[in-house]
Amino acid sequence: PMDELAEAGGVGFSDDGDPVFNSQIMRCALEHSRVLGLPISDHCEDRELSGGGIINEGRVSARLGLKGIPAASEEVMVARDLVLAKLTGARVHIAHVSTRGSVELIRRAKERGILVTAEVTPHHLTLTEKSVSASAKVKPPLRTEDDIKCLIQGLRDGVIDAVATDHAPHTLEDKKKQIELAAFGISGFETALGCVMSLVHNGEIDLVTLISKLTYEPAKIIGRDGESGTLKIDSTADITIFDPEREWVVDSRMFASKGKNTSFEGYKFKGKVMATIVDGKIAYKDDSLVIASREVTKHYGG
């Protein structure tokens, strides 16, 4: 019921986790979303090509004897939905882009004036197909170093608009299985900033661009331009305060999320969230800030 969802405040529609294979259904959805002025976010996967796949199709999957998921399974759906977006004049958002081919398709579509935006996840920007484990089993799968280079370039030149976690908080029971049986997905909230800050420290992207990709540009995609993702006077006080130089070690036991599954367990990141303010109220403070405030209170009283 797209009309009712829009009226209730929905900011868009998504087929994530269950891609629409029927092109006529996707066309109708895009046409209706255009009337409502809302985007459709696509999980681009041709399951005829990816069915039964575990990791990226390539040398690693062949060496390990694991069924692979080819880049084409993503790219053919990206291509189809870009064609349908042009046909209908609707806005389409490509979720969790993972391949060089998808980036190039989106680049050409933007050059032709098709209304498309796209996102990439922190894990697809930093981990390759060589990270083979149940914790790193995600969909789309982790790809190659060449794909990562293209994704980062896409962020720099504006082909990819946003960084989004694709947070999938599975239970440890869902993930602590042999890789063929484990669920797809990774918990990404707590590690997102530290993970992508590695790109800044390595000189692969500048800090201002990264912050925009995490805040302002995602807000624009969901129609909150000027309302969210900015520090303008009278805008909602949703603020993240972080220390770009603070080093920390990932310990999933400290996650606020119920999903503790991460491929970054034990990693040392540089760049840490120190506090968050939600709607003007402090929602989180790092333990070091809590200790510091106690010391100040003890010293000065009050």
| pLDDT value for 298 | 53
Maximum distance among all alpha carbons in the chain?
69
Please enumerate in sequence order all residues whose Cβ is within 8 A of that of 46, keeping only pairs 6 or more positions apart, or say none.
Answer: 19, 21, 72, 73, 74, 76, 77
Per DSSP, the three-state class of 272 is strand
The first and second tokens of residue 72, run together, are 């084409």
Residues β-bridged to residue 93: 41, 117
Q: What is the DSSP letter of 277?
A: E
The first and second tokens of residue 84, run together, are 């349908």
Under 8 Å between Cβ of 141 and 97? no
Q: pTM of the predicted model, to two decimals? A: 0.92
Q: What does the pLDDT look like over 120-153, one tens digit per residue?
A: 999 999 999 999 999 899 999 999 999 999 999 9
How are strands ordered across the β-sheet holding 281-285?
Answer: 239-249, 268-278, 281-285
Sign of the Cα pseudo-torsion (113, 106, 226, 89, in order) = positive
User: Catalytic residue among 166, 238, 243, 279, which?
Assistant: 166
Cα–Cα distance list, 280 to 46, 55, 176 (Å):
43, 42, 39
Q: Write out the chain's pLDDT in tens, 302 residues.
A: 999 999 999 999 999 888 999 999 999 999 999 999 999 999 999 999 998 999 999 999 999 999 999 999 999 999 999 999 999 999 999 999 999 999 999 999 999 999 999 999 999 999 999 999 998 999 999 999 999 999 999 999 999 999 999 999 988 889 888 999 999 999 999 999 999 999 999 999 999 999 999 999 999 999 877 778 888 888 889 999 999 999 999 999 999 888 899 999 999 999 999 999 999 999 999 988 876 555 545 544 55
| pLDDT value for 296 | 43
The first and second tokens of residue 167, run together, are 């947070």
| pLDDT value for 157 | 96
Under 8 Å between Cβ of 82 and 116? yes
User: Is 286 annotated in the active site?
Assistant: no
